[in-house]
Amino acid sequence: MGSATDVQRAYREAIGEFATGVTIVTAHGPQGPAGLTTNAVTSLSLDPLLLVVCFDNASRTLPVVREASRFAVNVLRAGQEDLAAVFASKQVAASKFEAVTHTVAHGVPVLDDALAWIACDVHELLPGGDHTIGIGAVTHFDHDPAGEPLLYFRGGYASIGDRVRSRPT
């Protein structure tokens, strides 16, 4: 794999101004659970309920998602950056899952203590440059309304540090 060009680096810095949450996307395959850290996640549609996850084509979790036809988005809490680092690594899936307990619910691995989790059927996997755009049809979800999220901003982890100031009208 070649090193990032100057324009790719500059683009990463610009898009890094777009603060996001951090999630671990998981799937359950014949070898057990697999997962990766992701921030290219967004809600897509309310009717029907759809969300988007962008997978690097080199992700080893992507073929597990493809085969399982199901995946879960596990939203991380403030303070879970060590877990984000484990799932962003190239450790084998079994050792990633030594860092966190999980249950398989609705056919997908749900991480204990996630701020929120959303289980999906794979609706579509579409080409997107060096990534694959995964569209998930949401089937089950839950969340902790009192918890705080882990954020990703300017290439680093951050916390909200401020409660919601105002809501869009």
Q: Which residues bind ligand FMN (CB under 6 A)?
A: 22, 36-40, 54-56, 59-61, 84, 88-90, 152
Residue 91 tokens, joined = 């450790």
Q: How far is the CB of 34 from ligand FMN (least distance, A)?
A: 6
Task: Give whichever of 75 and 163 is closer to ligand FMN, judged by the CB atom.
Answer: 75
For residue 38, the minimal CB distance to ligand FMN (Å) is: 3
Secondary structure E strands in 3-130:
20-21, 23-29, 32-38, 41-46, 49-56, 70-75, 102-105, 108-111, 116-128
Residue type (1 letter), 32: G
Residues in contact with 130: Cβ distance below 8 Å, sequence separation at least 6, in sequence order: 56, 57, 58
Least distance in angstroms from the C-beta of 166 to ligand FMN: 27
**What is the 8-class DSSP label of residue 39?**
-
Nearest approach, Cβ of 107 to ligand FMN (angstroms)? 19
- Distance between CA atoms of residues 125 and 70, nearest Å: 12
Whichever of 1 and 167 has its CB closer to ligand FMN, that residue is: 1
For ligand FMN, give the closer residue by CB, 52 or 167. 52
Nearer to ligand FMN, 59 or 138 (CB): 59
